[in-house]
Amino acid sequence: MSLLLLRRVIAPGCLMCWLAAGGLPAQAADDTVTLPDLMQGAQQWAQDNLDTNVVTALSQIDPAAVQQFYRELTARSQGEYVVDLAAVRQTARSLLPWLQSREETRPYAAWLAAQMDYLDVAEEIRQTAPPPPKITNPPPQIILNPPAQKERELWVTKESGRPWPPAAQTYVTELKPIFAARNVPPELVWVAEVESGFDRRAESPAGAAGLFQLMPDTAKRFGLSLWPRDQRYQAIPSAEASADYFRYLYDRFQDWRLVMAAYNAGEGTVQKQLTARKAHNYDGIATHLPAETQMYVPRVEAVLLEREGLKLEQLAPPQAASEK
């Protein structure tokens, strides 16, 4: 069964939790099962979202195991500790070739390929963490998040010397004027390398799509149409919407690192942490943001530094971008 169809019948996030369970998908059987058969406890979601004409064709999937891994992966991605992401690294590496081998799953492969660096850096952090003290009956070890500056250094090393993605030459030339026309720093076109590897077919299991991985609500909020043709998969419209979103976020947070954090984690998440920590910049909240966001912001900055020789803090504010 196509993962494009699966996304429409399973709540956002469930698919990748199933995939993270430690093995590749089983061959679909002739028997069909409905969503309640597959995911016990998801009745309310099904009532709100499920097209009653759609059924899934999956076999050998234990609903209890799916739920267990859903809880585990949700905890890892939404938790504070970056190192926890390392646990799914090997499964993701095994999964990626399988996704790439099938036409209907290649959008998910493009998305997953763009995420693999997060898991690699999480593993590097895990391996370089100081050993726990030798004590009798020690409590479970918690590896604290590295400070924001340390993560920036790790990502600069990770991105150093990396060649351009194959499609970058075309898209960078085409889309920089789109950003500049909206008085947004044109260098932000490189966010597409982090989001999708400049593969406009990329689609995440949560429903983000295109070069800049816009969620449906965000796309519509900034003027894109999702039907009958989804403009998130079109380079120029998606760049226009993303540039407008970056400008909106900068008007709100007045700091490019906070803009990137909000682009990844959501405006509410960033504002909540700023308020709770009485902070005014990214470094003041970095280690308390979701693990993915803690990695996303320094990754964007490392890509900008590698491609353009600029740090996020060196980008012009939107109102002055056209003067650069």
Domain count, the chain: 2
Distance from C-alpha of 167 to C-alpha of 257, rounded to nearest angstrom: 26
Whether residue 51 is contained in a domain is answered as: no
Residues 99 and 195 in one domain: no
* Residue with tokens 């995911």, as numbered in its chain: 39
Whether residue 21 is contained in a domain is answered as: yes
Q: What is the mean pLDDT of residues 300-309?
A: 98
Name the pLDDT band for 135 (thresholds 50, 70, 90). Answer: low
Q: What is the pLDDT of residues 167-223, one digit of tens each?
A: 999 999 999 999 999 999 999 999 999 999 999 999 998 899 999 999 999 999 999
CA triple 140-145-149, angle to 5 deg: 160
Whether residue 134 is contained in a domain is answered as: no
Residues 117 and 242 in one domain: no
Report the half-sphere exposure of 200 (CA within 13 A, side-chain side).
16
Domain closes at, from 96, 128, 160: 128
Whether residue 247 is contained in a domain is answered as: yes
Residues 181 and 86 in one domain: no
Cβ-based neighbour number of residue 93 at 10 Å: 13
Residues 96 and 153 in one domain: no
195 is catalytic: yes
pLDDT of residue 106: 86
Longest CA–CA separation in the chain, Å: 64
- 195, 240, 292, 306: the catalytic one is 195
Name the pLDDT band for 26 (thresholds 50, 70, 90). Answer: very low
Contact (CB, 8 A) for 54 and 110: no
Buried/exposed code over 235-266 (b: 16+ C-beta within 10 A; e: otherwise): bebbbbbbbebbbbbbeebebbbbbbbbbbbe
Cβ-based neighbour number of residue 149 at 10 Å: 11
Residues 152 and 68 in one domain: no
Task: Give the range of the structural domain holding residue 181, as residue numbers without chain letter.
Answer: 148-321
Q: What is the pLDDT of residues 65-88, one digit of tens each?
A: 334 434 554 566 667 788 887 887
User: In the predicted model, is pLDDT for residue 258 greater than 60?
Assistant: yes
Q: What is the pLDDT of residues 262-277, one digit of tens each?
A: 999 999 999 999 999 9
Spatial CA neighbour of 313 closest among 286, 284, 282, 291: 282
Q: Please give the model's pTM, rounded to 2 decimal places.
A: 0.70
Residues 204 and 297 in one domain: yes
